[in-house]
Structure formats: C-alpha cells, structure tokens
Structure 1
C-alpha cells in the first residue's frame, strides 16, 4: 500500500497503512454523508490504539509529511469531487464536510487558490 523509506520498521509501515485505511474509510463516510463530524488526529490515533504524537511522528518519518497534510489533501480532493454535482449547493458541500460555509470557502481557497464557486464554474463550463 505504501512505498516507505528503507529505514522504516515493519511496525511503522503497519501504522501508516492502518492510518491510510482509516482515512479512506472516513473520507467514504464523509462522501456518503454518514460522518457526524470530521476526525482529528486524536480520533485516528484512538482507532489505532496509539498516542497521537506517535502517529504523527511515524507518518512523518515514513512518508515525509504529516497526517494533517494527508488529511487535508484528501479533504480537498473530496470537496472537488462533491463540487462537480451542480445539484448540491456549496453550502451543502461545506456542511457535509463539517465546515461552516464561510470557513469552507477560506479552506478551499487556501489550497486551490480559488473559491469553490469559481472552481465549480470553471470545471462545469
């Protein structure tokens, strides 16, 4: 599932793979509207029965990025996917991803350099 660095132990690779699996499950729950809220690193660490700092350090050591970076990248990808449906308002997409609509616009623009509305208009034009 991952291509880890040569120095990563089997346990580190296992932790990263488990995190990715849980992240995928959570994104699917968000996509389907089955998630009550977005997870934090602590939630993922609890699922893996490890300390949040250990999870963060392990992912950083193995992949060279933080679990937050991975989470945000997946969240942006999901947001872009949901924005492709013109029947769903941007506010609905924001709420589905557990954002206040104005905060969602700021979050999206920070990563994509454009607002969700302009993204949707450009893609669906």
Structure 2
C-alpha cells in the first residue's frame, strides 16, 4: 500500500514538473532565451526520467501523449499573441520557430482556422463588445 502511494505521488510529481517545464520553456522560446523547442527526449532528460517513462506517466495521469499538451500550450500562447499583439503572422511564426507555411498548417490543424482568420474573428468579436 505504501509503495503504491509512493508510485502515485511520483507520477504526480513528474506530471507537475513536466507542465512547469513546458510553461517555462515556451516562455524562453517566446522571449528568445531558447532558440528552438526542445524535443521530448530532451525534456525527459531535464526531468531525469526516460522518454518512455515520461510518456507513460503523462498518458496515465492526463490521458494523452505529452506532445498533445506541448502543442496545446504552444497553441494557447500563439492565440494569445494573435489576439493581443499587432505583430505580423510571419513574425509570430518566427518567434515560435516556424516558417509561415508550416505555422499556418499547425495552427489550422489545432483550431480549424488559419492564423489570419482566427485574428479577424477575435478582432470582430472585440469590436462587437
């Protein structure tokens, strides 16, 4: 029973540290303190666990692969930047280390909209308020 609690606690700790590391790393990329996004195996190394253990733990704790949450957090920051800044879409793509074409594909896959259409929808909804 005690060992079971210890394992449960460890998986919660790894999950919590994973999400904290993601938030910090994404901010580092946005601010230019990191030149590119880390691969999942690099994140696992920073957390002192194997890639497989990280993947299994996050899937067990949260129900999805770690990459799902990584991408979701990136999208969240992109949406924030699209709605709160006047930076061009190409500049936002560059900040997030994408070329504009792949950036649009990535964004549309997640949101159903291109970055330009998303920005117009946000602007329109703000104008109506």
Q: So what's the TM-score if we normalise by structure 2?
A: 0.86
RMSD: 1.5
Q: Where does residue 96 of structure 2 map in the other structure?
A: 97
Query: 2: distance between equivalents of 1:27 and 1:89?
Result: 19
The structure in which a higher percent of residues are helix is 2
* Counterpart in the other structure of 1:77: 76
C-alpha distance in structure 2 between counterparts of 1:29 and 1:106, whole Å: 23
- Structure 1 stretch displaced more, 25-34 or 14-23: 25-34
Partner Cα separation in structure 1 for residue 14 and residue 68 of structure 2: 16
Larger radius of gyration: 2
Once the two structures are TM-superposed, the CA of residue 124 in structure 1 deviates from its matched residue by 1.3
Aligned to 1:3: none
Report which stretch shifted further, 81-90 or 51-60: 81-90
Separation of aligned partners in 2, 1:102 and 1:57: 32
Which runs of 5 or more residues in structure 1 are unaligned? 1-5
- Establish whether residue 37 from structure 1 lines up as the match of residue 75 from structure 2: no
Distance 1:88 1:33 in 2: 15
Q: Which runs of 5+ in 2 are unaligned?
A: 125-129
The aligned counterpart of 1:11 is 10
Secondary structure of the structure 2 residue equivalent to 1:9:
helix
Q: Residue 65 in 1 paired to residue 80 in 2?
A: no
